[in-house]
Amino acid sequence: MKKTNVALIQMSCEPDTQKNLDKAAARIEEAAKNGAELICLPELFRAQYFCQREDHALFATAESIPGPSTERISQIARDNKVVVIASLFERRAPGLYHNTAVTIERDGHIADVYRKMHIPDDPLYYEKFYFTPGDLGFRALESTAGNIGTLVCWDQWYPEGARVTALKGAEILFYPTAIGWHPSEKEEYGEAQYDAWQTTQRAHAISNGVWVCAVNRVGHEQGDVIHEGVSMPGPEGAGLEFWGGSFIADPFGRIIAKASHDKEEILYATLDPALVEVTRQHWPFLRDRRIDAYEGITKRFLL
């Protein structure tokens, strides 16, 4: 029942993939020096959000797991004795790619791999062009820093993913994320969009009695990518303004830490697993589930 010091790295991303890896490495080391034991990076941190267009050239930025990024982060995790969650563009085989989060233990080994299950296809979020849906299912890991589960971005809108991950034993859910505003929509819809994003994840915390840690990127991006000296410009247009706002919610959905919408930050909090037990005792949603009546949940629609 040891408490865990968590750090969420809210960062902006540059076009150059190597610079982003260097920045992430420096932020992990900074968080570790400030006492963090469990550190999470935002979704696809190695590049600007390239899914704003469909471009076959961008598959060249994918990497194997294990690969260059996991090798670098594994060394940092080992040197600083921390657990790190890193979201990567995985090249699994020729023509087969995933949006993948790896958990690297404090001794440097890859302890878990999660492949994003829900893949969006919306204006400037053309992820179905790049990513095959995950085939490893929802997962939980008994890490040396606590019982954790990782889901990725679009997964955060689905209560089923959070529920299954919690039922497998996760007491802390991490959601590495890349979500932002279309600039033309921000004035009218921006506040409501962010509120919905935060509310649905707070609901996961409440209904499952778990900690929820959502970590987003920040800053305006056109989707420009420079990888190994090759420049791949993003599409013309307004781009995306990533709204930051990373946060940590306790098992009753209360926000205990929140980042700004427009600055790079490392968000820190100490999470007590005992609060999971206490919350579930007083709000016994898992006890009162009617598991005999949920068979329809596996159907697309019931009419």
Break the chain into its structural domains and give their ranges: 4-298
Active site residue 128: no
pLDDT of the residue at 186: 96
Tens of pLDDT along 136-180? Answer: 999 999 999 999 999 999 999 999 999 999 999 999 999 999 999
Q: Which of 43, 127, 171, 221 is catalytic?
A: 43
Tens of pLDDT along 53-77? Answer: 999 999 999 999 999 999 999 999 9
Mean pLDDT of the chain: 97
- DSSP per position, 4-34: EEEEEEE----SBHHHHHHHHHHHHHHHHHT
Given pLDDT bands bounded at 50, 70 and 90, which one contains residue 1?
confident
Q: Cis link prior to 159 (omega < 30° from 0)?
A: no
Tens of pLDDT along 97-130? Answer: 999 999 999 999 999 999 999 999 999 999 999 9
pTM: 0.97
Q: Which of 14, 90, 116, 241 is catalytic?
A: 116
CA distances from 109 to 67, 70, 172, 196 (A): 12, 9, 20, 36
pLDDT of the residue at 53: 97
pLDDT of the residue at 71: 98
Percent of the chain with pLDDT over 70: 100
Structure tokens at 300: 């697309």
H or E element in which residue 102 lies: strand 96-104
Q: Which of 63, 153, 171, 221 is catalytic?
A: 153
Residues with Cβ within 8 Å of residue 175, at least 6 apart in sequence = 150, 151, 152, 153, 155, 156, 201, 212, 213, 214, 215
pLDDT of the residue at 68: 97
SS3 127: helix
Pick the CATH number of 4-298 from 2.50.20.20, 3.40.50.300, 3.40.50.920, 3.60.110.10: 3.60.110.10
Tens of pLDDT along 11-35? Answer: 999 999 999 999 999 999 999 999 9
Active site residue 43: yes
Structure tokens at 31: 């968080």
H or E element in which residue 93 lies: strand 83-93
Chain centre distance of CA 63: 18
